[in-house]
């Protein structure tokens, strides 16, 4: 069934910046607004099973009201894709059990990514098993692998040019470029390396997909004092006996962190995007983190 109004939200960014936390928070926000949501993760080893009991299955499982979680594996998606065309399960089994074909599947550039992207975009394209959701939130790959995921259909369409696979590949790219269906979310931190990767990703999404991503700057420390106030604290501490050194180090750290947060904000604005800021949450507990993050993000989040 073709789900023309289905929204596909792809969350990316450097490794460790909070992609999974942001993806799960977006899923919770959308569900709270009454949408039926699928939270999808990619690859062989799921992460959400650490967060939601019952998650991590290759079939959708409800993990909280209105949100199903699923884990999409490249090979299973490829199998489903082939079955869609060949219609004969035995032939697909034969294909996958053949040694030469197995190594082809493993080595063919972009085939696994193509199968995953095919699945991710299958709802609005109306291909394959029905995905009965209003929103599909994908906890996608980090920077380099994410680019490969998005570019897989471009490579395939250029390599084979004609036939159903070429047509499907072109439709996947069209869908990624269609802001009515697709939204990209780049998560970053107010630090140099994640910001450089976010910059690279933002340019990639602008240039290759012609859409404007949302940028989330995660883990901002609350700044109760301005830079001037922190500087004056430091000045007052200069020349004292060593007993206040720790306070000077702390004031110095806060001042520098404030500078990094300000620089990150300005840098994102320079890309023509209004950044979404999320604070650092002082908790190691996922339910608490997601509750607080989805509350804060909910005020700033608009899928349109």
Ligand X SMILES: Nc1ncnc2c1ncn2[C@@H]1O[C@H](COP(=O)(O)OP(=O)(O)OP(=O)(O)O)[C@@H](O)[C@H]1O
Q: What is the CA radius of gyration of the chain?
A: 22
| DSSP E strand boundaries for the chain | 7-13, 37-42, 61-64, 67-72, 135-139, 182-188, 214-220, 276-279
Residues 8-37, one symbol each (x = binds Mg ion by CB under 5 A, - = not), give -----------xx-----------------
Least distance (Å) from ligand X to the CB of residue 114? Answer: 22
Q: Least distance to ligand X from the beta carbon of 85, Å?
A: 32
Under rule CB under 6 A, which residues in 18-37 are in contact with ligand X? 18-21
How far is Cα 79 from Cα 84, in angstroms, rounded to an integer? 9
* Residue 287 engages ligand X in binding (rule: CB under 6 A): no
**If you search the block for the tokens 């790959």, which residue do you land on?**
141
Among the listed residues 2, 4, 5, 16, the single contact to ligand X using CB under 6 A: 16
DSSP string computed for 213-270: PEEEEEEEPP-SS-HHHHHHHHHHHTTS-GGGHHHHHHHHHHHHHHHHHHHHHHHHHH
Give the interface segment with ligand X, choosing from 14-22, 27-35, 150-158, 206-214 (CB under 6 A). 14-22
**Min dist. Cβ of residue 293 to Mg ion (A):** 14
CA-wise closest residue to 152 among 180, 181, 116, 120: 116
How far apart, in whole angstroms, are the C-alpha atoms of residue 175 and residue 127?
13
Residues 261, 222 contacting (CB under 8 angstroms): no
**The one segment of 111-119, 152-160, 230-238, 274-282 that binds ligand X by CB under 6 A:** 274-282
Q: Which does 250 bind (CB under 5 to 8 A by kind): Mg ion, ligand X, none?
A: none
Cα 209 to Cα 30: distance, rounded to the nearest angstrom = 24
Ranges within 131-150 binding ligand X (CB under 6 A): 142
253 binds, among ligand X, Mg ion, none (CB under 5 to 8 A by kind): none
Q: Using CB under 6 A, pick the residue from 174, 227, 281, 298 that binds ligand X.
A: 281
Place of tokens 């299958």: 122
Smallest distance from the beta carbon of 292 to ligand X, in angstroms?
8
233 makes contact, choosing from ligand X, Mg ion, none, with CB < 5 to 8 Å by partner type, with none
| Positions in the binding site for ligand X (CB under 6 A) | 15-21, 142, 218-219, 278, 280-281, 289
């Amino acid at each position: 069934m073709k789900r023309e109004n289905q929204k596909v939200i792809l969350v990316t960014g450097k490794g460790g910046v909070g992609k999974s936390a942001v993806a799960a928070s977006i899923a919770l926000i959308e569900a709270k607004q009454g949408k039926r949501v699928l939270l999808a993760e990619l690859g062989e080893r799921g992460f959400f099973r650490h967060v939601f009991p019952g998650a991590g299955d290759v079939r959708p499982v409800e993990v909280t009201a209105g949100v199903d979680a699923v884990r999409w594996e490249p090979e299973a998606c490829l199998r489903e894709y082939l079955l869609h065309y060949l219609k004969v399960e035995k032939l697909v089994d034969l294909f996958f059990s053949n040694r030469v074909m197995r190594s082809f599947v493993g080595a063919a550039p972009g085939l696994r990514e193509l199968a995953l992207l095919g699945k991710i975009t299958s709802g609005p394209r109306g291909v394959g098993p029905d995905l009965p959701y209003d929103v599909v939130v994908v906890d996608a790959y980090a920077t380099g692998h994410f680019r490969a995921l998005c570019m897989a259909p471009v490579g395939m369409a250029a390599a084979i040019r004609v036939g159903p696979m070429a047509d499907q590949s072109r439709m996947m790219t069209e869908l990624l470029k269609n802001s009515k269906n697709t939204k990209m979310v780049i998560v970053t931190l107010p630090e140099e390396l994640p910001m450089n990767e976010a910059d690279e990703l933002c340019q990639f999404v602008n240039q290759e997909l012609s859409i404007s991503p949302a940028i989330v700057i995660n883990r901002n420390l609350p700044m109760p004092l301005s830079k001037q106030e922190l500087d004056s604290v430091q000045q007052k501490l200069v020349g004292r006996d060593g007993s206040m050194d720790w306070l000077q180090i702390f004031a110095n750290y806060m001042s520098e962190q404030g500078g990094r947060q300000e620089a990150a904000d300005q840098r994102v604005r320079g890309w023509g995007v209004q950044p979404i800021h999320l604070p650092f949450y002082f908790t190691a507990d996922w339910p608490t983190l997601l509750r607080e993050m989805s509350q804060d993000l909910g005020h700033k989040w608009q899928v349109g």
